[in-house]
Each structure stands twice: as C-alpha cells, then as structure tokens.
Structure 1
Amino acid sequence: MQFAIPAGDLASSLLQLSEAAGLDMVLNPALVDGETAPALSGAMTARDGLDRLLAGTSLYYAITAGGRIVLRRAAGPPASAASGPQANRANAVRLQGVTVTETAIEPEETYAPAPSSIATKLNLPLRRTPFTINQATEELIDERADINIFETLENFAGVTTTSTNADIGQGISRSINVRGFELGGAGQTLINGQRAYGLGSQNRAADNLERVELLRGPAALYYGAAQPGGVVNYVYKRPKDFARYQVQANTDSQGSYGGSIDLTGPITEDGTLLYRAVGNYSRYEDDQNHIFSNPVSALAALTWKPSEAFSTTFTYEYYDFESVPEQENNKLDSETGEFFPIPRDFYWGNLDDRAVRTTHTFIWDAEWKPSETLKVNAYANFQRSDQWYQNTRIVGGGRGGTPTTADENGNVPRYVSMGRNSSPETEIENLSVGLDISGEFDTFGLTHEWLVGGGYGQTRSRSSYIPSYLSCLFGQSTTSDDCEGEPRSLTPPDLNIVDPVYSDWEGAFLLDEAVFAVPWDKRRDYNLYVQDLITLPNGTTRLMAAIGWSRYENLGRGTIDDWRTMERGEDTRSDVEAWSPRFAIMQDIGASSTIYASYGESFQPQGSLTLNDENGELLLDPERGRQYEIGFKRDIFDEQGIVQIALFRLERENVARAANPDTCDTNVITPGDPLYCYNLLDGLQRSDGFEISVSGVLAPWWSASLGYSYLDATIVRSNDEANVGKQLPYVPEHSLTLWNRFDIFRWDDGGTLGFGAGAKLYDRVNNGFNDAGETDWNPSYVLVDTGLYYTRPLAGGQFKLSAQLKNVFDEVYYDRRRYFNSGTIVWGNERRAFLQAEMTF
C-alpha cells in the first residue's frame, strides 16, 4: 500500500491514513491534541504506517472484535476527564474510511468478546443476547496454557468435566456438566454453530479453533433433542484476506513437546479466493508413569468471496488422538484411606495399552446478503470417527466393586478391559444440514429482526465385538460355559506393587478377531423454527418470541445373545416430537447496559423404552427442561469487555421413576393388579443458581476472564430417597475461576512485558448417597497459576515468548468423579512449568 502523507499534526495524519487504507478508527480529540507526526511516504502496510505515526508518543492502538481501531494512551492517568476510557462518546471523533478491510490491518489477538449466533441464530453482540454466553478466545487459551479442551471448558465457572469409568480414558472422553446437568452427546456440541453428534464432537484440537463458546441453558428449538444444561460451540479458524504466517513451539517441565504452524492469506490478487492451513503435533507426558497423549491435527480451509454480497467457505479437519488410558490409582477410600501402598505415579497397565480416535470433519457454509434487509445462510457438515482401545485394569477395580487384595508377595491380578461382549472398536458417521433466512423490516414504528430456518441431522454408529468364547480368555470373568481355551489364560501377569515389571500384552492379537456383528444404530433429527426480535419505538426495549418444532427418531440394535448362532436381541425404536418455545424481554439502560428476562425449553427422549404406566401402555413422553433466567449485562472499555450477571432456575421434568417399588412383583404382568409394577413420569431435578462473569479487555493494560458460580442443584422427586434434597453428584456448589493478564512494562520499540495470574476454586462434591445416607466426598481445592509474556515487534511481524507455572503450590487434588466404595479416582495435575515461543510474520 502506497502512502504520501506530509509531516503535520497527528490528527490530520491519522485521518489521511484512515481514508487511504479504508480503516474504521475512533479516537478522543484530547488524546492527540498537540501531538505531531512525521511524514509517511512509500509502500508499507497500514499497521506499519500506524506504528510510524504513533512512534514517539505515549499512544498505541487496539482493535475491537468488530474490527474498529481505537487509540489509547499507554500509561499514566488521562490528561483530562475527556481522555480516559470512560470519556463522553460525544467527544469522540470517528475517522471514516470507505470500508473496514482486513487487508488493511490485521486484528490483534485479544480476549475481547465477539458477536455470536449460538443463542439466537442471529449474529449479535453478547450484550444484546438475552441468555448467558461465555467465550474463550485463542489468545486466552494460549496464555493460560490450557492442557486440553476440557480444561478450557472448566475455566468457565460452573462447568465441570468429570472422568467416566469408560475404558477409553478421560483424555479422550469426559462428561461435561453445565448448570448442574450433563450435556451428553445428543446434539449438545456444535462446530461453527452446526450440530455434531457422537464420539468426535467433544474433544477438539484447540490449535484449529478461533474460540470456544458456551451457551448456558436449553436451545432445543434450534438444535433438537438434548439435556437442558447448555450448548458448546467450537468456532474454527477461517481464511483471512491478508497474509499472515505463524509458527509456534512449546515444551514443559515433564518433557512434553509440540509445535504448530498457521498460514493464511489470499490466493488470487483480487482477494476473491482465500486459504487457511493449520498443522499441529504434540506429545503430552502425564504425571503418571507410562501415560501420554499424542494429538496430531491438520486443518485446511478455502473461502470464495466473489462479491461483498456472497461468500462460501469449505473446511476440512483431520484429528488423530492417541493416548494411554488413565489407570485407577486408588489413593482414597472412605474407610481405609488407600487400597495399596503405592506412589501416585504408579502404573497398572501394559506398555501397549492404547486409546486411539481418528476423526475426519468436513464443514461447508455459505452466506448470501442481497440487501441490507435480507440474509440467507446455508450450512452442512459431515463427520466420521473411528476409535479403538486396549486397557488393562485391576480385577474388580473400576467395575463397581472393591479391588482385589494383593497376595503376601504384593502381586495384584489384572485383566484386559475387553471382557465378555466388549466392543474394542467403534465407528460413527453423522451428517447435518441447515438453512436460515433472516431479515429486517419496520412497521408501525417497530423494528423486526426475523428468522426462519430448519435443519436435518442423521447419525449412525456401530461397534465391533470380540465373541464371548474368545473374550473369556482375557476378561475379568474367571469362568465360562463356552470358552475356546482356559478362561483367563491370556490375562496379563499379576503386577507386583513393590517391584513392577511391565511388558506388552501377549493376547493383543485377539483384537483382530473383533467383528462388526451388529448393524448400525441410526438416529435422525428434524428442526423447524421461526423467531422475531422486536425493537420498540423507544429504541431501548426489545422483545423476542420464538417457537421450534423438533422430531427425534432412533433405531437401536439388539446385541448378540448367542455368539455361536449369532442370534440378536430385538431392535428398539423411539420416535419423539416436541414444540419448544422461547421468550425474552430486554431493556437497555443507557448506551452500555441491558437488563433482561428469558425463558427456554429442551426435550430429551426417555432413557428406557420399556417403561409402562399403570394401564400397561409405554411411557414415551420425553423429559423436558425449562429455564427461567433474569440478568444484567454491561459493555466496558469500548465494548472490548463485558460484565454478565444471571439468576436462573433450571428444571428437568418428566424424569421416569418407579411408582410402587416396595409393593410390586415383577412376575405380575397384568395391568391393574395391585402387584403390577408400573412407572410415573413425575421425577424432578432442579438447579437454582447465580453466576457472574467479567471478561475481555478491561483496561489498556489489563485483560481478564473472571467468573463465579453458585449452584443449588438437587433431586426434588425420585424413588432414590437417600438422594432427595441432596446436591446432584459431582456438581460443586461454589466454583470460582479467575485469570488476569497485565501489561507491566512497555519499551519504546513497542516491546511489552506481561504478567498473568489466576486461581480456580472448586467446592467439594459427593458421588451419590447410599441408603444409609453415606457418600464419598471429594474435597474442595484451590489451584493457582502464573505466567510471563514477552513480545517484541519485528520487521513485518512479532516474536512472543510465554512461560507459565501451573498449580504453583503443588496442590493435591482429584478428579471430581468417584465410584462409591471402589476407590477409583484420577489424580489432578501436579505443578508444571510451560514454555512457548511464537513467531508471527
């Protein structure tokens, strides 16, 4: 870009640069009063031009999430009441460029919130959205040194991810809870705002993401059958119409290492064809011996933008995640304190134990905006995931019972967790398509932002099984009526807890004997919805009304009953339809604050399809989720930060429960008989809560992500009397997540030194109460993290060096999930130092 700007006053020079480069710039006159600028001549980028004009002043610029450039003073108090970040907007001057163009200047990496469509299907600023949305940007994830995507989610206060007892391990799959309710895999995970199902949806490669979004509360009208807690949206990186290249390398104090490369820019000179290419390789060494994770990913994206009215993007992601499943490390027990006298890094498995998941994801979206009052969005995605695992465990451990004891020499028996009818390999495919048409019109003084849309999704999955006459050779069971050999003859050797000897499993060849003997499970989802967001004539009051129709169809396959004859059990079908309304009212208070009240619903098919009422009819009405929320939102610091406060009640209704468990006889099959066993759909779970979050850029020198959550999540009606009135298992009543990033020094050459500090507090949790009112409590804990960041501008680029220390005080803590009276837990991460170098040019 060529510039010919003579030396003069800074305000005039900035105006000329803004017009020449097509920038959208806002400044306060008091900031530049009396400032001069040198001449600007020759070819350079708009970024270089700005840097030269501001050199020698105490000013610098920042770019908001919407692409606007804002000038600020680097240090010291404002020169006058009109020069601070809270200056009267009437004193601000907007330098009008022709168009805001990303080719002119690259938006800076920031914590600032971005507009989102996850809650309303309209791309709105967070303050204009009558539901709570939290975001974690790429910069925030990097500077906190989040180990994986689950840690990123847990940094939203009130969100927990808990290990399951599954053989695949918590590194790949976890239970995600929001506002006290588990999200599950039923359409609760979005990619670029599109529904995705099943195995490959939860765990994503953060290096390929622009940000992670969390919508708290139900949204069934858009996304179909799901639990009521919330929706997670992974927003992928997209091509940019300016050239940028980034290389990154990292390591830590445990010997982990990795690196990534991120390339983007125009392919054609006219900028109509753009690309993005991202690659990542890493190996993370766990605190426990012999356990690691090795994610490898690649992303390729192309955008075609032939005009300002139309653009379309195609994205492909390859993600391979190989790890060793976490083993039980039975440190805690409600009675004895520990099962075995072993260190926390003790490993129970074989050296060739693995959990591997490979996912291919294809995403397409298109936007056509023929006018300012009409927009059409179309989208589709296809995802294929394959996984397999081999996991060696303690006999009895992790299966709901007490682990076996060691013999007099310290030997503990083990088994491979592909026992009778186990499924070592799973395949899943899903397709999702949708169309949204939105627009705007005025009538009788009312402004209507309307939306109509629909979506269709289908998924199918199947698992391979090792026949029971072979799985008996290595499984947990010690007897079998039909076994091709001596039962447990291929189990791993006992492991000595004093002097363990590790090896590969000699029976691994049996994994090749697994067969896909059961047809594909199938699921289909249909959605139609209509919505209107109405602004009243006063311009400060908005009403939202929406209604959605959803249909859920599921075909479950019967499992193999007899491996010799290959006879299967009966297939099961579930077809559910539901209408889901949504309402909200919003009132602006001044130019930057909004109060709101909203209501939303969800639905989820019953978990069992064999429940009868007192007349013998099947109970197929779905569970329903209902949320009532009131809140306050305020933009801060030129809309680069936001405060969100919410009070809510979230209820899960129509939960099935036995009507007469103490008096019925399962042998009686005649409806109406006093001993006939039947069920009711009147179970109720409730979560009342309060949340507050402050996030984004809060001052020129301060960025943060701060949150607190209080959850009173209880079982209100249930046959499980021991748990009625108790906090739901694994849900902390209080949780606090704090992260602050401060610029503490700025050099004349533009280099900066930053400091990060954060803390996470999680209240104690129970793992369910038994009939005697007893439970195993996992204790509360507090983690403290710190970081240092050095950035230095280079010719046409930037160098950044980051160092973090996590769990500074080496707090001993455990994953929140426990298994009652089994002692199965997973240790939390020990203190660890991280180092990362990044070059952008």
Structure 2
Amino acid sequence: MPTSCSSLRPRSPLALAIRRALGLSLSGAALVGVPALAQAQDAAVESDTVVVTATALKVAVPLAQTPRSVSKVQREELDERNVQSLDESFRYRAGVLSGHYGADNNTNWFKVRGFNQATYMNGLRLFDPGYYEWTPEPYGLQSVDVFKGPASILYGEAPSGGLVNAISKRPTEEAQGEVQVQVGNRHHRQLAFDTSGPVTQSGDVRYRLVGLYKERDGDLNGTSNERYYFAPSLEWDVSDDTQLTFLASVQKDDGVPENPFKLAYGTVQDTPFGKVDPETNYGAPNYDKDERTQVSVGYELSHQFSDTWTFEQNLRYSHLDMELRSTYMDFATGDGRTAYRGHLQRDGEIDNLTVDNRMIGKWYTERTENTLLFGVDYQDLSLDGQEFDNFTYDTVDIFDPDTSITPVDQSQLFGRRIDKQQLGLYVQDQLRIDDRWVLLGSVRHDSADVKNTNQQLDVTVDETQSQTSYSGGVMYLGDNGISPYLSYTESFSPQAQTNVDGAIFEEIEGEQWEVGVKYAPASWDGYVSAAAFDIEESNSFATTPAGYQAQAGEKTSTGFELESVGYLTDQLQLTAAYTYTDARNDDDTRAALIPRHQASTWLDYDFQQGALAGLKLGGGVRYVGESVDGDTTVSSHTLVDAMASYDFANNWRAQVNVNNLTDKEYIASCDFWCYYGESRSVIGSLSYQW
C-alpha cells in the first residue's frame, strides 16, 4: 500500500502531545548545542518517557518543571501555517506582538511583553547594529523558541522583552527527504529541498542538506525580494562520550526594500484629499536596493567526562556583507499636501565570532537532585562600512508620489567602524527536593568593550560597559499536573550605536517579577499555562518628534498571559492564547505600538479514516486590540487565516495557505509614523516526501 505523507510524521500519543505543546522536545536542546541530546531526538519522540529540553536553563530538564516562560513552535506547525518569515512564527502564542510594522522584506519585527527582543540562532546571538539585519530562513529551521522577559542571566546581552531563538534543522538517524514547489500571489515562487540520513553503515556519521530558492513581490508598489539559501550540516559520534555537530549556511538576498512608513495624516486621519492607498510606495524602486549575503559556519561539541560532569561548547563565525539604499517617508512639510523623504545608505560588512563554554554537574542524594551549571561565553563583533543619512533629502506628494530620486554622490558617504568584545561569566544551580520543590538561583557578570568611530562627526567613543545580573525562582510540582511558580530575572544590553551628537547610548537594564502556573495533566493531550509579569526597564528608547531614536528614561510593562495547546479529540487540535499588556512610558502615558489586549485561536482537524483520509483543514482568528501613539488612537483589528492540505499517492502532499483571508485593510500601529497591515497572502504548495 502506498505510504501517505501523514504516515511519515508520527501521530501524537498522549505524552508526545504534551511534550510538543510545552516544547518538551530534544530539538530544543539545540538551543545550547547539546549534540548528545539531539542525537536521541528521534528515539525520544516515540517514547512515552518525559522528554527534556535545554531551552530555558541551558541544561536538560523538563520545561514544565522550570519557573520560566518559554513558548515553542515546532517544525510541524511551521509547515502547517507555511511560515514565510521569522516574525510569523508566534502569531498564535501569548505575549508576542508581530506584524505591527506591516510587511517588511528585510527585517523581522517582534515585541515581547511590550519590549524589544534579541534574535539568537542555536543559542548564539545574531547581531543587527544599524540596519545590518541577519534574517534566518524559516525553511531551514527545526523549531523556534521565545524566552519571555529578561534573559541575560544565561545568554548575556538581551533586551527586556527576552529573546527569540531559531533552531536549525539537524541530521537525522533515518534517511528522509523532501522536494517542494510553491506558487502564490504577489508573484511568489519557491523551490526547496531537504534531505538527511546516515553517511556510514554504522550510522555514526549523519548529514543534512537544506536548500531553497524563492522570490516574491512586496506589499508596496515596486518592492520585491529574491533569495538563495543552502545549509549543510554533519553530525559525528566521535565516541560513546563525545559528539560533534558541524553547522553551516549561506544565504543571499537581492531586492528592493519595503518602507511602509506613512503619516497619520492620510491613514488614521482624514484629509481633503482622501486616504493614502496601502500600496503607495514613497521609496525609489528604480534606485533603492537591498543586497546582502550572510554566511555562517560553526560547531557544537559535547563530551561526558563522567556520570557527574559534562562539557559543552558551541561556536559560530558569521559574516554579513550588505549594500542598502533605502528611501522613506519622513515628516510633513506643513502645506497639507507634501512631505519630506529621508534617504539612507549602508555599504559594509560585519564579522562576528561567538563561543559558549559550559560545564554541567549532576549529583543526587536520597531526597535531592542537584544540577550545577557554570560557563564562560565570549562575543567579538566588528562592523566596517560606509553610511549616508539625510532626513530631508527631498520632498514628495503624499497622495501622488514621484518615485524618482537624485542619486547620492559616493563622496557624501562617511565611514563607520564598530568594535565590540563581550565576556560573560555565569553560574546557575537548580535544586530539586522530594520531587516536589524546584529551587533555582543564578548570577552572571558581563563586561563589554565598545568602540564606535564616526568619521562624519570625527568622533570616536571607546568605553567599557559592565553589569552583574541575578535570577531566581521557586516552583511546586503537583501530582495533579498543576505547577505554580515564582521567578525573578534581570537583563543587560550594552549599546554599540551612538546618538545624533556622536555619544554612545547607555546600556539598557531590565528586571522582571513573574508568577504563574503550568498545567499539564497526564490524562490530557495538551497544556495550559498562565503567567502574570511586571517588567521595569531603564534607559529605554523612544521615537522623538523629529523621527529619530533617543533614550527616554524608564518604561514599565505589567500584564497577564494565558496559552493553551491541546487535542480535543484524536483529530481535532486547539491552539489558543490571550495577552493583556499595560506598557507605559516614564511619564505614565501608554507606550506606542503595544495593544492592551491580544487574542488568537487556531483549530485544525485531521481526517484519518474514510474517504477523506489524508485531508487536513485548519483555520485561525487573530485579534489585536487598539493601541495609541500620543493623541492618536489606532483601532483594533481581527484577521482570519485558513489552510487545507491533502496527502495522496506515494508521499505527495498538496497544501494551500491563506493569511488575512478577507483581505482586510487596516492600520497595524502608529509610532510617529503609521503602518498598514499586511494584505492577503495566498500560497499553494506541492511536496514529495520520502
């Protein structure tokens, strides 16, 4: 009998569904480079034993037994919703705001619990100073995690919102593969392949090759992006105690950037000339461009010295080469019809080396289990490039823009050099008592040397920023699956950029108190988690009336999150989330962009028997409440998504995904500028799996 695509993916038994929902998957171990654990992933998926993850604590413990808020989106869900960019990953998770700047083809935008976040790849930081954005390709990911709230205690520099960690696909013990073709609106075209399996007969060496080509037009007139992506990896069991995984990727993007900046005048405000069309582009598509090549190579090493001690190390070198020319709407001239356009250019490269070394010790007594982690990590970042910035480069008709532009003379570009070295030392101890109580304590010290040279201002800033961070937590593990907890965390984010006067920005510090409960009973395929949080951040950034970023004192965010993923029946799965966030500025006014209320729900039904066997239908609703920007109020909006897939013949799958099904026109947010939300997206896929 022919094998359907669905049969290649294990159906979720009781424990697997709970693990999948809570992120209790060994693929999460890839966050900190635990090759020995990653090797056991396939075997663990089919086991009913509790699967552990290193996502929250950098050590392999059940996520349901950690006093931290972490959400995970697995590869199966990324495929089901056909996620095309990293910031689409958490549309159906609590605490995360994305899409607030509308469509953007070269940047991933998140707000977590009202604050910015850092992006990591396999547990190591991806840096993005001054438009040099590293954009992970979703097809090359095994899963994506979001760590909510300050996370410096283990990961070094991180904004107060936390971090998003993209976990690469890894070699598998069993031979498998996929070839996929996609077409869609906005001239979407994609061809991808993914093949993996053993290299040697014994299976001690395994490989994976992932590749993709795709192109698509943007939401704005004249914008587009073309991408090539290739990611090889190799996993080697050096011995029973040692495992080494090599990871590499090459990605090249060539496009015309989307700048969805629009004024409140003509979007949320009425004008004598009507409203501005959402597709209006104030850029210069015949001159603007965004060309970038990003290359990374690294490894993850694990060696077990004894039953007590294990050493782990992951290292990555990355290089980003970028040429960006970008024209955007800036601010109105005051005549009611025209506005200034800004123009910027960046032409340079980033080299970055990051390494994380960890020793993990575990020992037991009759009543306790103790896990001690101590580590040293190091980051070396250098940026060398040419820059141009002019906030009033020319003027444009707001309602009938001329997209031509006078080219910039290359003599007007000025040099920029940034060098940053950061060293972090951390210690964490987790004590488990009587299989009832979990006590957690951590301390970390960071020292960052930052040198920033601005040739235009003839200014060089060279200084050291340092911080000691603390974290702690307590959790009670109930027999009924109810586990309440209390935690405290801090964050530290040194700044490499300078303000308009040439002075380097001050480091940003955050702290969070969180109380919550995780409910994952053995009698149900699913989970419910709830958390209340209170975050304070100092030296926060804000957009000034002139349109540039400045540090503006303290921001706070308090809120509540409710999240659930579970199977209502063997075929019907529900994903639901609700978030309440009250984010405020130093003067107690509401922070821009951040809605008080967000809610989402996704249902999918998998026909497993009868004439409709192989058919899967899914649909979701996303609600984003009103937000404010000073005196400007942005109305709430509700969006509908849908998908249908069908497995047929020998391992073939056909699928269609529609986001913003009704093609609703709406303003996503305002923060000095206002942004239309992304329009309807329709993508059809055909894949062959083996």
> TM-score category by the smaller chain?
0.7 to 0.9
Q: Equivalents in 1 of 2:496, 2:171: separation in Å?
A: 42
Contact 1:592 1:636 in 2 (8 A): yes
2:636 counterpart of 1:780: yes
Q: Equivalents in 1 of 2:110, 2:38: separation in Å?
A: 39
Matched with 1:10 is: none
Q: Equivalents in 1 of 2:472, 2:423: separation in Å?
A: 22
1:145-197 deviation digits (Å, cap 9, x = unpaired): 333112224443332246779xxx932125432111122xxxx2221112232
Cα offset, 1:305, TM superposition: 1.0
Contact 1:221 1:550 in 2 (8 A): no
The counterpart of 1:652, out of the listed 529, 537, 554, is 537
2:676 counterpart of 1:827: yes
Matched with 2:212 is: 280
Partner letter of residue 805 of structure 1?
V
Partner letter of residue 643 of structure 1?
V
1:517-568 deviation digits (Å, cap 9, x = unpaired): 34x21111111111111111x222111111111112211213324xxxxxx2
2:343 counterpart of 1:417: yes
Q: Equivalents in 1 of 2:116, 2:496: separation in Å?
A: 14
The counterpart of 2:58, out of the listed 121, 128, 142, is 121
Matched with 2:252 is: 320
Cα offset, 1:51, TM superposition: 8.2
Contact 2:281 2:403 in 1 (8 A): no
Cα offset, 1:352, TM superposition: 4.2
Matched with 2:606 is: 743
Cα offset, 1:790, TM superposition: 1.2
Which has the larger displacement, 191-200 or 241-250? 191-200
1:756-785 deviation digits (Å, cap 9, x = unpaired): 010111111112x2xxxxx22221100011
The counterpart of 1:728, out of the listed 591, 594, 597, is 591
Partner letter of residue 840 of structure 1?
Q
1:670-711 deviation digits (Å, cap 9, x = unpaired): xxxxxxxxxxx9943221110011125554213343211101
1:86-119 deviation digits (Å, cap 9, x = unpaired): xxxxxxxxxxxxx9997998969xxxx9743232
Contact 1:440 1:450 in 2 (8 A): yes
Q: Equivalents in 1 of 2:484, 2:162: separation in Å?
A: 21
The counterpart of 2:442, out of the listed 546, 552, 559, is 546
1:226-247 deviation digits (Å, cap 9, x = unpaired): 3211111110000112111101
1:1-43 deviation digits (Å, cap 9, x = unpaired): xxxxxxxxxxxxxxxxxxxxxxxxxxxxxxxxxxxxxxxxxxx
The counterpart of 1:306, out of the listed 234, 238, 249, is 238
Matched with 2:163 is: 231
Q: Equivalents in 2 of 1:284, 1:610: separation in Å?
A: 35
1:45-98 deviation digits (Å, cap 9, x = unpaired): 9x99x989xxxxxxx95468879999xxxxxxxxxxxxxxxxxxxxxxxxxxxx
Cα offset, 1:248, TM superposition: 1.0
Q: Equivalents in 2 of 1:302, 1:353: separation in Å?
A: 39
Q: Equivalents in 2 of 1:650, 1:575: separation in Å?
A: 26
The counterpart of 2:470, out of the listed 553, 563, 581, is 581
Cα offset, 1:440, TM superposition: 1.1
The counterpart of 2:330, out of the listed 399, 403, 412, is 399
Q: Equivalents in 2 of 1:61, 1:786: separation in Å?
A: 22
Instruction: Write out aligned runs for 1:691-730 (5 A).
Output: 691-695=561-565, 697=567, 699-715=569-585, 718=586, 724-730=587-593
2:375 counterpart of 1:453: yes
Cα offset, 1:333, TM superposition: 4.8
Matched with 1:5 is: none
Partner letter of residue 836 of structure 1?
S
Cα offset, 1:495, TM superposition: 7.7
2:511 counterpart of 1:626: yes
Cα offset, 1:575, TM superposition: 1.4
Cα offset, 1:319, TM superposition: 1.6
Query: Residues 201 and 209 (structure 1 numbering): CA distance in 2 closer, same or farther, change over 3 Å?
Result: farther
Partner letter of residue 428 of structure 2?
Q
1:326-385 deviation digits (Å, cap 9, x = unpaired): 244557356534767654333443334222222111231011124443321111011111
Matched with 2:75 is: 138
Contact 1:127 1:642 in 2 (8 A): no
Query: Residues 284 and 106 (structure 1 numbering): CA distance in 2 closer, same or farther, change over 3 Å?
Result: farther
2:648 counterpart of 1:752: no
Query: Residues 693 and 51 (structure 1 numbering): CA distance in 2 closer, same or farther, change over 3 Å?
Result: closer
Q: Secondary structure of the equivalent of 1:290? A: coil
Partner letter of residue 129 of structure 1?
T
Query: Residues 401 and 214 (structure 1 numbering): CA distance in 2 closer, same or farther, change over 3 Å?
Result: same
Contact 2:331 2:340 in 1 (8 A): no
Matched with 1:179 is: 113
Q: Equivalents in 2 of 1:712, 1:103: separation in Å?
A: 39
The counterpart of 2:354, out of the listed 413, 422, 432, is 432
Query: Residues 380 and 699 (structure 1 numbering): CA distance in 2 closer, same or farther, change over 3 Å?
Result: farther
RMSD over aligned CA atoms reads 4.0
- Give the strand-richer structure, 1 or 2: 2
Q: Equivalents in 2 of 1:381, 1:638: separation in Å?
A: 42
Query: Residues 180 and 620 (structure 1 numbering): CA distance in 2 closer, same or farther, change over 3 Å?
Result: closer
Contact 1:277 1:298 in 2 (8 A): yes
Q: Secondary structure of the equivalent of 2:670? A: coil
The counterpart of 1:602, out of the listed 491, 494, 499, is 491
Partner letter of residue 654 of structure 2?
L
Q: Secondary structure of the equivalent of 2:88? A: helix
Contact 1:751 1:792 in 2 (8 A): no
Query: Residues 702 and 67 (structure 1 numbering): CA distance in 2 closer, same or farther, change over 3 Å?
Result: closer
Matched with 2:661 is: 808
Q: Secondary structure of the equivalent of 1:589? A: coil
Partner letter of residue 737 of structure 1?
S
1:383-434 deviation digits (Å, cap 9, x = unpaired): 11122222344xxxx324447666xxxxx7986714xxxx431321211111
The counterpart of 2:143, out of the listed 202, 211, 220, is 211
Larger radius of gyration: 1
Query: Residues 174 and 245 (structure 1 numbering): CA distance in 2 closer, same or farther, change over 3 Å?
Result: closer
Q: Equivalents in 2 of 1:404, 1:738: separation in Å?
A: 45
Q: What is the count of residue pairs matched by the alignment?
A: 655
Matched with 1:270 is: 202
Matched with 1:260 is: 192
Q: Equivalents in 2 of 1:64, 1:814: separation in Å?
A: 42
Specify every segment of 5 or more residues in structure 1 that has no aligned partner in the other structure, as ranges: 1-43, 53-59, 71-98, 407-411, 479-490, 562-567, 612-617, 658-680, 719-723, 770-774
Query: Residues 308 and 64 (structure 1 numbering): CA distance in 2 closer, same or farther, change over 3 Å?
Result: farther
Matched with 2:85 is: 148
Contact 1:366 1:379 in 2 (8 A): yes
Q: Equivalents in 2 of 1:326, 1:270: separation in Å?
A: 50
Query: Residues 391 and 548 (structure 1 numbering): CA distance in 2 closer, same or farther, change over 3 Å?
Result: closer
Contact 1:529 1:548 in 2 (8 A): yes
Q: Secondary structure of the equivalent of 1:221? A: helix
Q: Secondary structure of the equivalent of 2:105? A: coil
Which has the larger displacement, 584-593 or 257-266? 584-593
2:311 counterpart of 1:376: yes
Query: Residues 405 and 743 (structure 1 numbering): CA distance in 2 closer, same or farther, change over 3 Å?
Result: same
Cα offset, 1:639, TM superposition: 8.2
Query: Residues 203 and 553 (structure 1 numbering): CA distance in 2 closer, same or farther, change over 3 Å?
Result: same
Q: Equivalents in 2 of 1:100, 1:350: separation in Å?
A: 45
Contact 2:482 2:520 in 1 (8 A): yes
Query: Residues 332 and 140 (structure 1 numbering): CA distance in 2 closer, same or farther, change over 3 Å?
Result: farther
* Greater relative contact order structure (CA < 8 Å, 6+ sep): 2
Matched with 1:532 is: 429
Query: Residues 175 and 830 (structure 1 numbering): CA distance in 2 closer, same or farther, change over 3 Å?
Result: closer
Partner letter of residue 234 of structure 1?
A
Matched with 2:407 is: 507
Contact 2:253 2:291 in 1 (8 A): yes
